Amino acid sequence: MNVTIKNEQEIEKMRRAGKILKETLDLIEASIYPGQTSLHLNDLAYNYIISQGAKPSFLNYEGFPYTICASVNAQVVHGFCSSVPLKEGDIISIDCGVIWEGYHSDAARTFAVGNISLEKSRLIEVTKQSFFEGIKGIKAGSRLGHISHKIQLCLESHGYGVVRELAGHGIGTHLHEDPCILNFGKYNSGITLEAGMTLAIEPMSTLGSREVYLEDNDWTVTTQDGSPSAHYENTILITKDGVEILTM
Ligand code: MG
Ligand code: MG
């Protein structure tokens, strides 16, 4: 395992990548309504990122064909964009990444399309909450397993499934770096975090069973029972006193 420590110049580039990504996600959020298409959201994201002099991180990553992942309802992650209009009551997880001067950022949000059920709304809210529970109290010297354990505890205490086939990750000059950050695990386990580590923490939850399958496009991961899924991700920096969120 090779966990890189970023210096101040590298962190500055990641902050910039994170800021452009946050603005991209804000733009997308403001453009989600019944009748909208994820292909259009993809164009908005691409155009905004390019207009900032940055590059989309996901486009052509191992052949992925879009700037954003757009995962609707039972789709957990890596959803393909489509010309099918979003419907009132849908939820859509948008995952996106930006490269600024060779450094990546990565973040995801699940958004409501119009009015959604209380069940779906709670799932989105608790998934976001599990991210903040995961990083609460984290700083240089903390164990990685603390994050994994707290995310699992939060989601499972609400009766939600924790998707185990996918995980968070280190991030920097590559979109995916060491370490792998599971969304479940033991409190006092894993590597000891150091100041200058940059990590993408990303709980993925399901309203029903946590079992998932890979769709025929070989990318999209979807719940087996068809239950809705939510995703919440930020890129964070570990500091000596705590955590700095780079994509909020
Ligand atoms: Mg992501
Ligand atoms: Mg990620």
Cα(156)–Cα(203) distance, integer angstroms: 12
| The amino acid at 243 | V
Please identify every stretch of the chain with a pLDDT value under 70, giving residue numbers as ranges: none
**Apex 163 CA angle, 193 and 103, nearest 5:** 45
Of the bound ligands, which one is closest to the alpha carbon of residue 79? 1
* Rounded distance from Cα 46 to ligand 1 centre (Å): 16
Asked if residue 75 lies in contact with residue 231, where contact means CB atoms within 8 angstroms, the answer is: no
Catalogue all structural domains in the chain, each as residue range(s) with its CATH number.
Answer: 8-245 (3.90.230.10)
Q: Can you give the pLDDT at residue 21?
A: 99
Q: Can you give the pLDDT at residue 177?
A: 98
Asked if residue 28 lies in contact with residue 41, where contact means CB atoms within 8 angstroms, the answer is: yes
Q: Can you give the pLDDT at residue 44?
A: 98
Q: Which residue has the tokens 């354990």?
A: 149
Residues with CB under 5 A from ligand 1 (ion): 95, 106, 108, 233
* Rounded distance from Cα 229 to ligand 1 centre (Å): 15
Strand partners, 99: 55, 104
Q: Can you give the pLDDT at residue 248?
A: 97
Give the tens place of pLDDT for each residue, 25-35.
999 999 999 99
* Rounded distance from Cα 214 to ligand 1 centre (Å): 17
Tokens of 31: 């453009």
Q: Can you give the pLDDT at residue 1?
A: 87
* Rounded distance from Cα 37 to ligand 1 centre (Å): 20
- The sign of the torsion formed by the CA atoms of 110, 120, 80, 220 equals positive
* Rounded distance from Cα 233 to ligand 1 centre (Å): 6
Of the bound ligands, which one is closest to the alpha carbon of residue 21? 1
